[in-house]
Structure 1
């Protein structure tokens, strides 16, 4: 029976000590390449006017429109020329310390498997489409590339300080589900949004979620859920500012400060929040079986 998970406890046979494996690009079937093309065409058709300029530039710069699942070696050549990053294949989700070490050394880990056709709209674990289409275009942006390297170094320190929960929330609300303000309009850049057919519309158009201007401490206190559309989106002013916040701040005293404060429940609005959209939360109530 085919395994239903790519979450592993140890590197599988044949993997390197850092969990990397060969992408084995030649082993992809014609159907798998066709599925990538189908996902790519569907997403790129709706992203102009929705995705950030940096994300759209990244798709062009890295030549992701070439048919079929990208070859990581070829992709890394283009990415190295742009920002010094490369893409390495892994068999599934890797341990936190391994993940942070790769980021700190400008290596982005990507699953080498692709979802099944019946998982077109949702897959619980990140596959090659989520990882490459969703994440890699932003790594061609110099500011975001620096942010991700700094995040990797910060992750190594957070593990030592017992503060991983705080830093994980920063990743969730920026790298995975972040919005950015560009030319007076909101745009998506988080990989979980840009790689999702439904959420790429929900995040900008639906009245349900809160959209709040980014504040580092606020984000690090805010809980999130992993199994559906988000109830909060945090909006950064620019990728340059996101890089500056991460590179110039010593997070250790921030962690200590936040340890004395309660977590913020999903969807709560605080008096100090700079709210762009106060959401109705109707979608979440319907999902959870409550009357709107």
Structure 2
């Protein structure tokens, strides 16, 4: 398992303004202009409340160029390695490839397809809020972009990961329903352990899930579909069948390509079996899964 906070640079606000705390090894750590830009984008998102207009970001030419580069590089990889459901959602949503879209623009495209909308996030959203909001058809999305020195790499989820990965997935109604059920599971949790279990199964499905389709192993996880490098490497991982107890308890390192992935046998296993897991999950589910495993082993 992992701590969600490892994924995001902390964002704070005090009398001196908003500060985004980048780690020393972040590509933009020693770039004062990039730091200031991150803080300019983070401020309105940090202060935003539901019902307010979604903050608009006037993206720079350099930021739009990063978006164009990533979209151009990922497009042929998606055609070759992504599941049909993602490709169909991507076509239906029709995101611009020449500029960074605004969050409310993406929401306007998603609403008639799956009913989802995007809310702005300055950085880390508390686990219960992030997953619980999925039950309401809300996905929390960052608005900043990765550093221009490495346009095909980001150490944290940026708008490219959120929109190219998750946004296109949410354009597929069946996959969006699985996410909604994950949110409902999170809402039912009364313990941190239960919520973390939901988050970890989500990680190995919606974030880093793979699927056998027409005899080929293809990607459906947003983390793979938005990663220029990892999407080319996932077929070299150890591929296991779905095992919810293992997915909810295995130790893994988020800073490296995932060495072990869990595969669905077609879209129906994702929408039915994974969807059913989230639909029936409660705090006692991990214990029941462990007991069933022990009975099978004895």
TM-score of the two chains, using structure 2 as the length reference: 0.77
Pair 33,152 (structure 1): closer, same or farther in 2 beyond 3 Å: same
Answer whether contact 2:48 2:120 (CA < 8 A) is retained.
no
Note the C-alpha offset of 1:17: 4.5
Pair 247,214 (structure 1): closer, same or farther in 2 beyond 3 Å: closer
Note the C-alpha offset of 1:128: 0.4
Residue 76 of structure 1 pairs with residue 107 of structure 2: yes
Note the C-alpha offset of 1:148: 0.4
| Partner SS state of residue 170, structure 1 | helix
Answer whether contact 2:121 2:142 (CA < 8 A) is retained.
yes
| Partner SS state of residue 119, structure 1 | coil
Aligned length in residues: 256
Which residue of the partner structure matches residue 245 of structure 2?
217
> What residue ranges of structure 1 are gaps of 5+ in the alignment?
263-270, 273-292
Tell me the C-alpha RMSD between the 2 structures: 2.7
Answer whether contact 1:112 1:128 (CA < 8 A) is retained.
yes
Answer whether contact 2:118 2:138 (CA < 8 A) is retained.
yes
Pair 242,171 (structure 1): closer, same or farther in 2 beyond 3 Å: same
Note the C-alpha offset of 1:132: 0.4
Residue 251 of structure 1 pairs with residue 281 of structure 2: yes
Which residue of the partner structure matches residue 285 of structure 1?
none
Q: How does 1:123-272 map to 2 (within 5 A)?
A: 123-160=154-191, 162-204=193-235, 206=236, 209-249=237-277, 250-252=280-282, 253-258=284-289
**Residue 118 (structure 1) aligned to one of 135, 140, 149:** 149
Which residue of the partner structure matches residue 23 of structure 2?
none
Tell me the alpha carbon deviations over residues 226-273 of structure 1, each in whole angstroms, 9 at most, x when there is no partner. 0010110110123333232344343233222356799xxxxxxxx99x
Which residue of the partner structure matches residue 267 of structure 1?
none
Q: How does 1:11-90 map to 2 (within 5 A)?
A: 15-17=47-49, 22-25=54-57, 27-90=58-121
| Partner SS state of residue 261, structure 2 | strand
Q: 1:225 and 1:6 mapped to 2: Cα distance?
A: 17
Answer whether contact 1:115 1:127 (CA < 8 A) is retained.
yes
Tell me the alpha carbon deviations over residues 100-137 of structure 1, each in whole angstroms, 9 at most, x when there is no partner. 23211101111011111123233222100011001111
| Partner SS state of residue 124, structure 1 | coil
Q: 1:71 and 1:211 mapped to 2: Cα distance?
A: 36
Q: 1:80 and 1:192 mapped to 2: Cα distance?
A: 23
| Partner SS state of residue 102, structure 1 | helix
> What residue ranges of structure 2 are gaps of 5+ in the alignment?
1-7, 14-41
Which residue of the partner structure matches residue 266 of structure 1?
none
Answer whether contact 1:87 1:110 (CA < 8 A) is retained.
yes
**Whose relative contact order is higher, 1 or 2, with alpha carbons under 8 Å and at least 6 apart?**
2
Which residue of the partner structure matches residue 288 of structure 1?
none
